[in-house]
C-alpha cells in the first residue's frame, strides 16, 4: 500500500488510554492557542499530531465491538472526559472483534463484559487481516490489559503477517524479547516497545531520582515505589498472576539507572492497590534510603498525583509518529532510540538523557 502524509493507525484495546489519546488530539484541535505539551516537538520529521487517522479498532467488550470508534471511547468502564462526546467529530472507523484469549482478568470481567464469540481463532485471524488491508492500517498500537500475553502475541504475529508496524504499550515483551525482535528484524518491520513510560509518571520520576542519587556518589540502600489508582487498569492489576512482567518492567527500569544493582529484596516497585474513587487519578509514593559522606543516612519521599491517561497519551503520540518515520525510512526491527526513550522495558536501556539525544538524532536522520 502506498503511504500518504497521513498516518493510518489501528487500535487494540479501546480503553481509557486510547480515549485520552483521541480526545486529547481533538482538545488541541478545538483549542489551537494551547501549546501542545508532552511531546518531543510539535512536528516530528514533518508529522504533526493532527496527521494521524485512527482507521479501526479491536476489542472484546460487548458494548464496544460493532460500534463507531468515536462512541466506543466513551463506553463504560472508560471514564476519560477531556472533550464532550457530542463535540467529537464523526469518522468511519469501527470497532471489530479481537480474540479474547487471556485479555480479561477475573477482577474486571463483570466491568468489561466480553462478548460470547462464535468465531474460531482462524476465522478471527482471517477477518482481522482483511480489515487491516481494507482500512489501510500501517501501524497497530496495543493498549491491552496487563497480563494479556497471548493476545499480545496474536497481534504481534498479525503485524508480521501483514507488514504492519507495532507499538506495544504494555508489559508483554515483544520489542524487548530477542526472539520476537529477530522476527521483526528479519521482515524489516518496525516495532516500538515495551510498556509505555508516562510523561511525568512514577517510572521516570523514580529512575531520574535514583540516577541522581547514584550519580552523586551516594549509596542507595533500599527503595520502594507504590502506585494506586481507580480505573480498570488498577483493578485488573489486583490479580497478582497477571503482574509478573509488569513488576520486571517497572523494577528493571529503575535498576538500570543505578551504578550498583540493588539486591532483589532491597527494591520494591509495583502497582499496589485499587481505590475506586480515584478514577483515572494515579497516586505514586516513592522512598529512597541511602548513605552519603561518613556513612551518614539520608532519605527522600515523593508523592506524585497525575491523570494517568494524559500521562501515557503525551508519549504514545510520539511513538506513533516515530513508527511512521521508521516505515518511511524502511527501518525495521526494534526501533532502539524510540523504545529507550518512550518505553519502560526497551531491548536496550540507556539513561533518559542519552535516549532523548538518540531519539533526536533518529528524527533528524543523522
List contacts with ligand NAD (CB under 6 A). Answer: 12-17, 58-61, 98-101, 103-104, 112, 143-146, 151, 169-170, 195-196, 198, 201, 231-233, 308-309, 311-312
Phi-psi region of 327 (alpha: psi -120 to 50; beta: other; left: phi over 0): alpha
Residues in CB range of 36: below 8 A, 6 or more apart? 28, 42, 49
CB burial of residue 97 (10 Å; 0-12, 13-18, 19+)? buried
Phi-psi region of 45 (alpha: psi -120 to 50; beta: other; left: phi over 0): left
The smaller minimum CB distance to ligand NAD, of residues 43 and 281, is found at 281
The smaller minimum CB distance to ligand NAD, of residues 220 and 257, is found at 257
Q: Which three cell numbers stand for residue 209?
A: 531520582
* Cβ proximity of 257 and 210 under 8 Å: yes
End-to-end Cα distance, the chain: 27
The smaller minimum CB distance to ligand NAD, of residues 144 and 326, is found at 144
The smaller minimum CB distance to ligand NAD, of residues 23 and 98, is found at 98
Question: Please, what is the minimum distance in Å from the beta carbon of residue 118 to ligand NAD?
Answer: 16
In whole angstroms, what is the distance from residue 315 CA to residue 310 CA? 9
Question: Please, what is the minimum distance in Å from the beta carbon of residue 4 to ligand NAD?
Answer: 27
Residues in CB range of 122: below 8 A, 6 or more apart? none
The smaller minimum CB distance to ligand NAD, of residues 26 and 153, is found at 153
Question: Please, what is the minimum distance in Å from the beta carbon of residue 306 to ligand NAD?
Answer: 8
Residue reference for cell 533518529: 362
For residue 286, give the 3-state DSSP assignment. strand
Question: Please, what is the minimum distance in Å from the beta carbon of residue 57 to ligand NAD?
Answer: 9
Question: Please, what is the minimum distance in Å from the beta carbon of residue 291 to ligand NAD?
Answer: 32
Question: Please, what is the minimum distance in Å from the beta carbon of residue 205 to ligand NAD?
Answer: 13
* Dihedral over alpha carbons 164, 167, 173, 175 (to 10 degrees): 70
The smaller minimum CB distance to ligand NAD, of residues 17 and 93, is found at 17
The smaller minimum CB distance to ligand NAD, of residues 99 and 290, is found at 99
Order of strands, edge to edge, in the sheet holding 165-168? 94-97, 52-59, 7-12, 139-142, 165-168, 190-192, 333-334
Q: Which three cell numbers stand for residue 116?
A: 460470547
The smaller minimum CB distance to ligand NAD, of residues 11 and 220, is found at 11
Question: Please, what is the minimum distance in Å from the beta carbon of residue 80 to ligand NAD?
Answer: 9
Question: Please, what is the minimum distance in Å from the beta carbon of residue 343 to ligand NAD?
Answer: 9
The residue nearest ligand NAD at its CB is 15
Amino acid at each position: 500500500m502506498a503511504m500518504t502524509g497521513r498516518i493510518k493507525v489501528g487500535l487494540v484495546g479501546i480503553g481509557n488510554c486510547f480515549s485520552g489519546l483521541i480526545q486529547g488530539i481533538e482538545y488541541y484541535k478545538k483549542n489551537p492557542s494551547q501549546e501542545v505539551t508532552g511531546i518531543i516537538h510539535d512536528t516530528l520529521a514533518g508529522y504533526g499530531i493532527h496527521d494521524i487517522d485512527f482507521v479501526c479498532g479491536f476489542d472484546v467488550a460487548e458494548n464496544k465491538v460493532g460500534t463507531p470508534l468515536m462512541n466506543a471511547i466513551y463506553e463504560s468502564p472508560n471514564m476519560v472526559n477531556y472533550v464532550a462526546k457530542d463535540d467529537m467529530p464523526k469518522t468511519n472507523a469501527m470497532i471489530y472483534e479481537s480474540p479474547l484469549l487471556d485479555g480479561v482478568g477475573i477482577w474486571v470481567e463483570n466491568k468489561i463484559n466480553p462478548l460470547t464469540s462464535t468465531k474460531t481463532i482462524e476465522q478471527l485471524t482471517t477477518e482481522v487481516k482483511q480489515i487491516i488491508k481494507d482500512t489501510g492500517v500501517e501501524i497497530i498500537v496495543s493498549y491491552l490489559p496487563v497480563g494479556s500475553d497471548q493476545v499480545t502475541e496474536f497481534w504481534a504475529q498479525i503485524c508480521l503477517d501483514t507488514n504492519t508496524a507495532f507499538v506495544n504499550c504494555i508489559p508483554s515483551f515483544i520489542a524487548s524479547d530477542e526472539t520476537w525482535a529477530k522476527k521483526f528484524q528479519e521482515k524489516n518491520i518496525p516495532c516500538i516497545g515495551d510498556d509505555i513510560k508516562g510523561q511525568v509518571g512514577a517510572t521516570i520520576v523514580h529512575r531520574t531520582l535514583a540516577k541522581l542519587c547514584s550519580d552523586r556518589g551516594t549509596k542507595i540502600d533500599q527503595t520502594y515505589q507504590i502506585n494506586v489508582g481507580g480505573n480498570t487498569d488498577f483493578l485488573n492489576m489486583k490479580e497478582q498472576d497477571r503482574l509478573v512482567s509488569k513488576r520486571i518492567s517497572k523494577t528493571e527500569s529503575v535498576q538500570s539507572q543505578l551504578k550498583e544493582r540493588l539486591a532483589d529484596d532491597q527494591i520494591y516497585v509495583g502497582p499496589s492497590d485499587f481505590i475506586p474513587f480515584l478514577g483515572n487519578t494515579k497516586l505514586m509514593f516513592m522512598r529512597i534510603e541511602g548513605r552519603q559522606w561518613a556513612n551518614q543516612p539520608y532519605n527522600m519521599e515523593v508523592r506524585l498525583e497525575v491523570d494517568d491517561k494524559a500521562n501515557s497519551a503525551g508519549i504514545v503520540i510520539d511513538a506513533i509518529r516515530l513508527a511512521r518515520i521508521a516505515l518511511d525510512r524502511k527501518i525495521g526491527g526494534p526501533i532502539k532510540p524510540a523504545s529507550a526513550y518512550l518505553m519502560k522495558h526497551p531491548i536496550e536501556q540507556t539513561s533518559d538523557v542519552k535516549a532523548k539525544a538518540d531519539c533526536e538524532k533518529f528524527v533528524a536522520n543523522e
